[in-house]
Structure formats: C-alpha cells, structure tokens
Amino acid sequence: MRPTVQEQLLGTCRILEKLVSPCVADPYARTILEGLIGNLRMLTSALPAVPSFLNSDNGATAELLKQLQSIVAPDLASSIALALGQPEPDATDMAALEQRNCELREIFSQALCNTDLTPELRSAALAHMTTRSARAPMRYVPTNSSPVKAI
Amino acid sequence: MGKDLKPSAALAAIQSDARLGGTASPVEQVVTGLKALIIDEIPSARDIAFLGVERAAGGLSRENWSLDASWVDETGAQARCLMLMRDAAGTLLATDRKREFAVLKALEATSVPAPKAYWVDYDGHRLGAPSLVMDRMPGTCDYLVLNGHRPLEARLNLGRAFIDLMARIHSIDWRDRALDAALKVPTGAPSRVELAHWEAEYRRVQLEPHPELDYVLAWMRRSAPQAEAIVLVHGDFKPGNALIVGEHISAKLDWETAHLGDPLEDLGWVTNPVRKREHQIAGVWEREQIVAAYCALTGLQVDEVALRWWNVFSCWKLAVIQLTAVSEFVAGRYDRVFQTPSWLYRPMFQMMENTA
C-alpha cells in the first residue's frame, strides 16, 4: 500500500518542518513542535519493529516463567500454568501481542518480587530484563536542542 | 496594558472564560490573573502594566512565564522583572506552591542565592491554576555547564561551587526558619518516607506492568538506609536548575521538590552515574572528588553503601517521573512524548549487584 506508513510519517515530518515550523514564533510551541517531529521520525523506524519485539519478548518471558514455576508459591504457579496454557496470539496482531505481553509481565513481576530466587534464576531474570530494555524499539527523543537557555 | 480589573472582575472573567470553553488565550489569562493577584496583595496598586509576557520554552513540570511588571502604589512607582510559575494541566511533578513559597521565604535570610518570592496564588483562583510569582534573576541556565566551552579550571571551580551550594543548603537551620511547620519532618528513615511517596506516585501513573521497576523497588525496600542527619534537601539539585553569571552561580531555582530528608538524597542525585555529563568532569571532578569535597564542607560522613542506595533511588525516581509524563501524555494533558525509561534499568541492576 502506497504511501506506506513510513512514507506517510516521513512526509508528515517534512511538511511540518518546511511549512509549519517556520510560521511558529512562540518559543514553547516551537520546542513542542520540534519534539513531536523528532518523535514521528523515531516512530518511522520503530513501528515496524514493535510486533516482532513483542512476539520475541512474549516467548522469552514465557520460557522464564516455566523455569520459575517450580519455585514460586502454589497460587502463583497456578497463574503461570494458566497463562502458559493460553494460545499465542497472531504474530501480526499488535493489540493481542500487547495484551499477552502485559499478562505475562504482570505474572513475571509477581514471581520476581515474591520469590527467593536461586542465583541462576536471578541471573537469568536480570539477563532477560537487560536484553529486553536494550531491544525496546521505541526511544525517547530529547526536545532540548540546546542545553543553554537564558531566563 | 488595558484598564485595571478589580479582583472580583478578574475572577469573574476567568470563570466566565472557563464556562465558555476557555476562549481566553494563556497570555490573557496570565495578564488578567496577575493583575488581580497584585491588587490582592497591594490594594493601593494602580496603572499596572506588563511588558514582554512570554512563556519560556523550558519547564517540564509547569508553565514558566517571563514578564516585566510596573505599577504605582502608595510608596511610588514600582518596576519588577518577574517569573510566574503556573501549574500546567499536565505535569511531571505534582508539587505544592504553598510549600515552595515557604521555602523561598525561608531562604531569603540565608547565603543561598534564590529568587525572592513575591506572591502566591495557592489554589489558582486568580490565575486559573496554582501559581507563584518571583524575581527573574540574572544569568544563563546551562544544564551541561560543567562540560561546556569554559576552560577546565573554570568548570572545576563551578563544580566546587555547586557542591559548596549544596552544603550551604544542607546546613540551613530549618527549625530556626520554621520550615518544620511548612515541610513535614520525616517520621522514621527519610529513605523509607521518600520511597513510600514515590511508590505511591508509581502506582498512580503506572499504565502497564514493569517487572524491572518492581524488582528494584523490592530491593530498595529491603535495604533502605538510616540518615545521619535531617536537612533541607533541594530534591532536584542540578546545573539545569541554576543560573550562572560569569563564573558564579547567581541563583538556585526550582524549589518545588524541596523537603526535609537525608542529605545523601541530593548527593546521590549528583553522583548518579547515569547523569555524569551534568554533574561530573571526567578525571578531575568525579564521584570520589565530589564526595570528598562534600564531607570536607559539611563534616558529615558518607556511607558508601547508603550513597549507592540513593543512586539507585535517583534512577528509580527518574523512571517514575518519566512514567508520569507517559501517563499524562496518554491522558491528553501533557505536550511532550516520553517513553518507558528502559535505558535506566541496566545501570540500576549494575549498582544493585555491585552493592551486594
């Protein structure tokens, strides 16, 4: 489908920068506009990566929950079994992937904070969380173009 | 700048504007509200005029308005360069103007350079949102001043001046200044009080599970340190909240997060490894030098494990502030787009592992 989502986002950035931005004199509005354009550019590359990120993270979190299942409290173990028994969502259905991600991460959070983890499981959990944070596709785009401001 | 309004007329104008769906521009709201506030405070004021009313581009937590005010009252003609800080619809920090006003008033008789506070609209009945009016101080704000264009010696002197300023803030006799009435004296360890406060904020703004932040929170609960002293804590001590004239700090700004607490909270904020570019100069003004300077200035001992806890807390608090921005943006009240602060997770995990 043309224009693609990326083409539309980039085109919107171009128009905002070339046509709209020069007409914005108010300093606050201008800063906000620059931030929004920067964020749209970030989304251009991040958006296509979100479904595969969620899909992969769901798989990794589920794998970790399997390992945690044997050492957590019985009611939490039941929650893990129930969650792991659910069918995986369609890999292209972003809303379903998001929902699944939230469900798994909620249980993971409980298991992580309410369990005396073995050193191996703690290392595995930390590695999982660190890898996830490094792979997260969406990033904050700073809005301050200059560190200096006169008051 | 137009005819003076009586307070009741100003309030009616704002209320009428709100009923009409807010057709008055923000500038008109500020002008009308500030006139009313001045008349409240100085009943003899007349010929009130404002020049250069402009919202500054900075200010992530509230609206910062710059303006020059003049009026005539019973003592003669007056002119002030002012800053008006007005609560924004969406904010990163829910803070109290009453507390901030009390802190600024308490600082007036100290050696800490801070703006003189004039008037406060506690509940926003004049300006549409809680607001504080203060002197506009001279100087330039540069959050990367310690790693900017100045020669190394000048930057090092500024680094020392910042820690000297922190030590002076911490040495203020807050009982003598009656700040214990305006600010809550922590009951129990300040680390636990701050953690409880920020955990409540976290739960309030949380939109999705964050196992990483829950894991750090559980660790902080288990290892919260005791304080060696209770002092006035700035709460957001950084070059980005200061003004510089030449090679000197002309003002410390943004006192809305000031509170009574553990001195290591401010020290933990500036020795936080994720913000080295703001607070440190590689090779000459790093964690070791900063802590040594602070100890020499205050006579306090700094427990390294406790300081590390406050470093982790600083990152975690920063994460909660960013989640607040996410929540406010999603709710349609905030204009800047923030993301889940996943970049903070790894440094927090590393500090926790190192402490263990």
Residues A11 and A36 in one domain: yes
Tens digit of pLDDT for each residue in A53-93?
999 999 999 999 999 999 999 999 999 999 999 999 999 99
Assign domain B7-135 to its CATH superfamily. Phosphorylase Kinase; domain 1 (3.30.200.20)
Residue A11's domain comprises 5-49
Q: What is the DSSP string of B189-226?
A: -HHHHHHHHHHHHHHHH--S--HHHHHHHHHHHHHPPP
Residues A65 and A131 in one domain: yes
Chain B residue at shortest CA distance from A149: B141
Residues A55 and A128 in one domain: yes
Residues A67 and A45 in one domain: no
Report the predicted TM-score, pTM, of the whole model to 2 decimal places: 0.89
Q: Give the sign of the dihedral formed by CA B204, CA B210, CA B215, CA B216.
A: negative
Kindly list the residues of chain B whose beta carbon comes within 8 Å of any beta carbon in chain A: 54-58, 66, 83, 136-137, 139-145, 148, 208-212, 214-215, 217-218, 240, 243, 253, 322, 335-343, 345-346, 349, 353
Q: Do B346 and A141 touch (CB under 8 A)?
A: no
Question: Tens digit of pLDDT per residue, chain B (356 long)?
Answer: 333 333 344 444 444 444 334 567 889 999 999 999 999 999 999 999 999 999 886 666 788 999 999 999 999 999 999 999 998 776 677 778 889 999 999 999 899 999 999 999 999 999 988 999 999 999 999 999 999 999 999 999 999 999 999 999 999 999 999 999 999 899 999 999 999 999 999 999 999 999 999 999 999 999 999 999 999 999 999 999 999 999 899 999 999 999 999 999 999 999 999 999 999 999 999 999 999 999 999 999 999 999 999 999 999 999 999 999 999 999 998 889 999 999 999 999 999 998 87
Q: Do A133 and B56 touch (CB under 8 A)?
A: no
The answer to whether the CB of A79 falls within 8 A of the CB of A125 is no
Residue with tokens 């590695």: A127
The answer to whether the CB of B37 falls within 8 A of the CB of B16 is no
Residues A56 and A124 in one domain: yes
Contacts of B215 in chain A (CB under 8 A): 109, 112-113, 125, 129
Q: Is residue A146 part of a domain?
A: no
The per-residue pLDDT for B16 is: 43
Q: How many domains does chain A have?
A: 2
Residues A98 and A57 in one domain: yes
The per-residue pLDDT for B253 is: 93
Could you say which residues of chain A have pLDDT below 50? 151
Q: What is the DSSP string of B225-283?
A: PPPS--EEE-SS-SGGGEEEETTEEEEE---TT-EEE-HHHHHHHHT-GGGHHHH-BTT
The per-residue pLDDT for A144 is: 60
Residues A110 and A61 in one domain: yes
Q: Do A129 and B208 touch (CB under 8 A)?
A: no
CB-based burial, A76-93: b 16+ in 10 Å, e otherwise? bbebbeebeeeeebeeee
What are the sequence ranges of the domains in chain B? 7-135, 145-355
Per CATH, the number for B145-355 is 3.90.1200.10
Query: Number of residue pairs across A and B with CB atoms under 8 Å?
Result: 104
Residues A62 and A38 in one domain: no
The per-residue pLDDT for B59 is: 65
> What does the DSSP 8-state code read for residue B20?
T
Residues A70 and A117 in one domain: yes
Q: Is residue A145 part of a domain?
A: no
Residues A33 and A63 in one domain: no
Residues A44 and A87 in one domain: no
Q: Do B142 and A147 touch (CB under 8 A)?
A: yes
